[in-house]
Every structure is written in structure tokens, then in C-alpha cells.
Structure 1
């Protein structure tokens, strides 16, 4: 018997703009969230569902399809095994009429579910995926600019948008959990932008809301991010005891046992905080643990977009640089600075500026004034004048240079450079 096409699935894909490959990718990601490893579907799998050759996918695939679409599996046109399929049409005309009625009905149902203000609106994973796309845009802005008030405000607004979706229609428990996770992710980015910009009181307010949303979501990855950022915030505030306590919360989450890359980040951030306490032995031990975890992590596991610098190894080098710089281990700090600058992706402009400033500090700590000034002058003017952490690091560099070699050629060259930078700095408008 000829397989009947799954017109309901085709209608949903058409309405929501999914190609076969895009739906396969979304299902694979949903499978990963359900069982801890991604699915293996591809465009051919989806075409088999559409053609009717596969009428009832495996259980985990069915759950993943329901998560992606927000619809029961039978509403997507799939038929349980053992159930009698609809009888074939008596003629080609009848078959054509039936297909047209099914297609129009499917599109109408999807459109009704998506209509704003409709009492039957169904919130699905398609809505979550759109939010996740916006989250990736926030992360990209942070990597390029970092700490800007505009990024903080946009992230906070998107957190509110994710929460508003909760009240705009019906949704499965899984979708609601993902909406809370999205809201927590946006709020954590607002928190991080405030930390990065030195707006610590505002960062604490974002932190409290982000932590509450993360608890409602149950998402381990976003819980880790928030508590890890909390540790960083207290580290920047010069409160190492609070920073270490927050880091311990992040490091105790079971995601660090399931995925060594999270353990790597937790160990490295803890080491950076221990640098404030002068614990040289503790720093070296934790950085060794971080390195071991990094080397044992599976690079092919699908992780949140904000973990990309960790996966690339750049974040481990950055945090190692910060830890050794605080300890006054300048040769080690310089080595980590060079490695971090090699590993940082081109779009990581904020981190490149900060690590270049730290490189200059490490070289100055070894008495290499000329090399230090040469490095510091490579930092773009807008980052040097508008980014809080870069500006603070360069002020520290200027003070140290003035103390160590106030009348040197390097110091005069740096004074000339900073004076020119102030004149040519972009305005805040």
C-alpha cells in the first residue's frame, strides 16, 4: 500500500518556516535536552516523516517533536502503530480534495494557535527558539562591546518578553521551563553587562531575579552561569570570601560532573579568585584541575552559545592570566596572555582589549617598559576610553609606569598616546 503523506507536519513546517534540515537540527537539540546527548536525525529523516514512510517515530523522537512544535504528536499527523490508517480515497479527485481540506485545515489550526490574543494560542518550542536566537545576538554584542548600558537594557527587555510569553497562551510544562530558562539567560546577560560596566548595585538586582528564574526553570547550565557570574562580581568588588562561596555553589551543580567543560570553567574562575588571596599553591592546583577537565571534555557536545570561548580554550588562558597577574607571577601571566590572544576568536574584541592591557601589565612587572607600552598602544581607542574594565586596567598601568620609570622614553611615549586618545575618543552619543 502506498504511504500517505503527512500533510499536518508539512503544514506546520511551512507555517513556521522550517526546512527539513532545520527541523532535524531542532529535534536533535531537543533530544539532547531530554537524554543528555543529541539525536542523529537529518533532512532525510524529516523527509521520511513527511512522506509517511515513518508513521510513528521512536519515543524520544516523539517527545522531541512535541517539544519543538508545542503540539501533541498525533496532531502532527503521526499514527500510532497498530492503528488502522485512513482508507484511501475512491478516486484521484476525492484524494485531491481530501489533501486540500487537510492542508487548509492544518494551516488554519496553526494560524489560529499563533494569532496574538487568541484564547487558543499555543506557545511552543518555536517561540523558545526565536528567543534563543535573540540570546545569541546578545552574546555576540557582549563579545564585541561588553559592559555597555544598551546591552544590559536590551537583555533585560528580552527577559521581560520571555516572561510575558508565559501569560499569552497555553504551553506544555517543558515549554514553560524553557521560557523561564530563556528569561534567566537574558537576565544573566543583563547582570554580566552591568558587572562588566562596573554598575555593581544594578548587577545585584539582576542577579536576584536571574537566580529566581533559574530555579523555576531547573536549567543547570543557566544556574551555573548565574552563580559563576556572581563569583566574578564579588571578585571585582574585592570580596574574595563571597566570591569563593558563590563559585562553590556553581562548582557543586551536577552539570560539572556530567560535563567536564563546566568543571573546567568552575575551577579556573575559582583560581582567579584565589589569586586575590595570595594563595599561590591553591591557584596552581586549581588551574591544573581546570586543565585536566578541559582535556577530558568532549569537544563535540552541544553546549550553550556562551560556552564557546571555554570550548576553544581561550577562557582558561584568560582566567589563568588573571590569577597569575594578581599573584605577581609576571612571566607566567605573560605566557598565558600570549596564548589567550592567539586563541580568542576575531569577534571577541572586548576580551582581546582586556587581555592586551593585562599583557602590558605583565611585561611592565618584569621591567620591560618598551614592550609594555607597545602592547598597550595596540588597544583600540574606543575600548580604552569606553570600557570600564579596560579603562581601569590602563589607569593601573599608567600609575605603575609612572612609578617605575617616570622619565623614560616609554613613559613619555605613553603619555603622548593617552593624550591623543582622549582627543580622538568617540563620543558617548
Structure 2
């Protein structure tokens, strides 16, 4: 099974690279804004594949394309506006590559990618890219166990002008801050952040998000709230919110569906609802999914059910 997943991940990555025509990006000559627009389109479609299949198989594709874009930056000639746009595109790709690295089981590489994303966003003067990178760095610090650092980064990001002006980014930052407060066992702060995330999302009604932020919808907010409830020990509330996320998820969000289905099974196991957990995991299809993070958690659930 593991070899089959590795083969499918490699096959998926190669297919995506071919379909997107990543090798067509110039590495010499004069670069125009239209060229950078095409680069941005390829990065956006790469992010869309991530939400569908997971990032494990896409990680080598993303890093290879990042290397090509760095050759583009060094080998081409261009004016200041093109340079700014190219740096913004590189920041976008670095952030997406960071998430793919997590799915590939490379958290150390994810941390480096997020730092590179922040650097490129600063060079581009891209406030939205900076907010995204700060959000990812806060999340990574929390995953690494540096909880206070995570909270400081997240609060600083919320104080940025971009977060104040962009309700979707504010919603994401507040939702992730809620998880940080929950891990710190600060119930009132977690509750305030969940409410702030919901209010910010309501203000964003009708806003067209950039490609990387299209995952943020009512389903994702419910899923993030569930993670906060779980960290606070409110398992029934976490189960309800996770079930709501699964109900609201669009069919195309296959990675998110697998992620939250595993989360639902974990919550059911933790509450002793083993029959319900067995039913939940039986419906999880990871055959076309490339995410070590998700499959490892699912393996633990299967092992627990088999030995209980």
C-alpha cells in the first residue's frame, strides 16, 4: 500500500507539472508582466491541485518550479514593476510549497519555505503575501510546540494594515489565534477569537479571495473552531463542529474532507464511540490522496480500533 501511494504521488506530481507547462517559464530574455501573470496562473492551479489531492506528491513539483523561478529572477531582465510582481509570485509559491512540505512529512522544510515567503513578500511590497506568511509562521511555531511565539506572531499579524483591511485574512488569523489560545488553555480568549473570526468572515461576504485563500469558507471555519474546542477538552462541541465542516465542504475539497473525517474519527474514539468511529473511517478514501500527515493519523485510528 505504501509503495502504491508513493507511485501515485510521483505520478500525480509529474502529470501536474506536464499539464501546467512549468518548463515553459522563461529563464532568459526580457520578462514582461504578461509572463508573470502566466506564472501566477500556474501557481494558482498548483494550489488548486493541493486542495484536491494533498501536497505530498506536489512538494517536489513546487520546489522544482521554485528553483526555476529563481533562475528566472537571476537570468532574465525586467523593470521594477515586473520585479515586484515576480517576487510576489515567488512568495505565493513558497507559501504553497510550505504546506506541501507538511503533507510530505517535511516540517523543517515547511518552516524554511514560510520564511522565504515572508522575505519575498517584503521585497515585493506585497502586504497580503506578508500576512499569509506571518499566519503560516505562527501556525508552524504552534505545530513545533513554540506556543508563546506562535501567539506573538499571530497577534502581530492581526495588527497589520492588511489584516485590518482584508476581512478574509482577518478571519483566518483570528481562527488560528483561537487554536493557539485553546492550546494555552485560555478559554475566554479562544472564545473571543472564534467569534472574531466569524464576524470577520461575515464582513467578507461577496469578496473574491485570491486562489490560495479559496479554501477559507464556512466549512473551514467550523473545522478550525473544532480544533480549538478539542484543545480545550470540549469534545462534544468539537465533534459537532467537525461534522458541520464535513457537511459544508464542497466536493472538490477532497484533502480537507479526508482531514476532517480523520479528525471526526479521532474525536469519536476519544469519547469511546468506537462503532461510530469505525463507520467514519470506513468512508474515508485516501486512495488518491498524497498526505503523510493525514494517512499517519488515520493509521493510528485504525490501530486503536483494532486493539480496543
Task: Name the TM-score, length of structure 2 as normaliser.
Answer: 0.83
The counterpart of 1:307, out of the listed 213, 216, 225, is 213
1:317 to 211, 219, 222: 222
Residue from 26, 30, 37 that aligns with 1:129? 37
> Structure 1 residues 321 and 396 mapped into 2: Cα distance closer, same or farther (>3 Å)?
farther
> Is the counterpart of residue 359 in structure 1 residue 251 in structure 2?
no
Is residue 304 of structure 2 the alignment partner of residue 397 of structure 1?
no
Counterpart in the other structure of 1:335: 240
1:176 aligns with 2:83: yes
**Unpaired runs of at least 5, structure 1:** 1-114, 407-429
TM-superposed deviation, 1:288: 0.6
Distance in 2 between residues matched to 1:372 and 1:238, nearest whole Å: 28
Q: Would the aligned equivalents of 1:264 and 1:289 in 2 still touch at CA under 8 Å?
A: yes
TM-score (norm 1): 0.61
Quote the residue 2:181 is aligned against: 274
Structure 2: any 5+ residue segments left out of the alignment? 1-25
Residues 239-272 of structure 1, C-alpha deviation per residue, up to 9 Å, x if partnerless?
Answer: 2222222322322221111111111110001112
* Structure 2 match to 1:410: none
Measured in 2, the distance between the counterparts of 1:212 and 1:116 equals 21
* Higher Cα radius of gyration: 1
The structure-2 alpha-carbon separation of the partners of 1:253 and 1:160, relative to structure 1 and needing over 3 Å to count, comes to farther
Tell me the residue number matched to 1:211.
Answer: 118
Give the total of aligned pairs.
284
Q: Tell me if structure 2 keeps the 8 A contact 1:177–1:217.
A: yes
Indicate conservation of the 8 Å contact 1:159/1:182, yes or no: no
Q: CA RMSD in A?
A: 2.4
Aligned to 2:68: 161
Partners of 2:260 and 2:94 in 1: CA distance:
26
Q: Work out whether residues 27 and 71 of structure 2, in 8 Å CA contact, stay in contact via their aligned partners in 1.
A: no
Q: Does 1:234 align with 2:138?
A: no
CA distance in 2, matches of 1:116, 1:397: 47
Q: Matches of residues 32-51 of structure 1 in structure 2 within 5 Å? A: none
> Which of the numbers 378, 384, 387 marks the counterpart of 2:283?
378
CA offsets 1:315-372 (integer angstroms, 9 cap, x no match): 2112111111222211211121122112222221111111001111222333322111
* Cα distance in structure 2, aligned partners of 1:209 and 1:381: 31
Q: By how many angstroms is 1:293 displaced? A: 0.9
Structure with the bigger percentage of helix: 2
In 2, distance between residues paired with 1:158 and 1:248? 32
